[in-house]
Amino acid sequence: MKRDAFVSGVVACAIVAGGCVAGATLAAVTALQGDPNRGRTLYQGCTGCHSVDDNDLGPRHRGVVGRRAGSIQDYSYSPALKNSGLTWDEATLDRWLTNPTALVPGTKMFFKLDAAQDRADVISYLASLK
Ligand code: HEC
């Protein structure tokens, strides 16, 4: 038992860039840290359809983290997203940006971010938009 704990401790330390955090759970250390500044730059890729404060082809984004999916009153969502029952948090946004149509079949958003780090960075930028 002791040895198992030691081994998983090593795995956790290997994953965390800044060193080993004593007492951190493995789930916490494996979650990618998002960089909101890098996310702001990556967000340029979203601005073809979205903006922070105005609806465009896609709905506005300020306050999206913590919001129910499809809940901006003056934006015309697909019925699929409106009725998805999702709430946007880090986990649902990560799945959404990985593949919107896999998470919500019938959605009208098709844009994806393939790199997990890119998704984490954009999500942390979205979370900073209060
Ligand atoms: C080509 C256009 C396009 C691009 C690019 C795009 N989106 Fe979207 N997005 C949409 C559309 C259209 C919807 C509405 C989907 C629906 O109603 O099914 C949407 C919806 C969303 C929603 C749901 C919001 C809500 O109020 O429920 C989020 C979150 C989102 N987009 C994030 C992003 C992010 C982050 C990016 C960039 C990484 C991005 N989108 C890039 C078109 C786009």
| pLDDT tens track for 83-114 | 999 999 999 999 999 999 999 999 999 999 99
pTM as predicted: 0.83
- The answer to whether 96 and 90 are in contact (CB under 8 A) is no
Within 10 A of 58 (CB to CB), how many other CB atoms are there? 18
The domain 34-127: what is its CATH number? 1.10.760.10
Nearest to 75 by CA among 43, 108, 99: 108
Show me where the domains of the chain are located.
1-31, 34-127
CB-based pocket (< 6 A), ligand 1: 45-46, 48-50, 57-59, 64, 69-70, 72, 77-78, 80-81, 88, 93, 96-97, 107-109, 111, 113, 122
| pLDDT tens track for 1-42 | 444 444 444 444 444 444 444 444 444 445 789 999 999 999
C-alpha 100 – ligand 1 centre gap (Å): 9
Q: What is the DSSP letter of 14?
A: H
* CA end-to-end span of the chain: 45
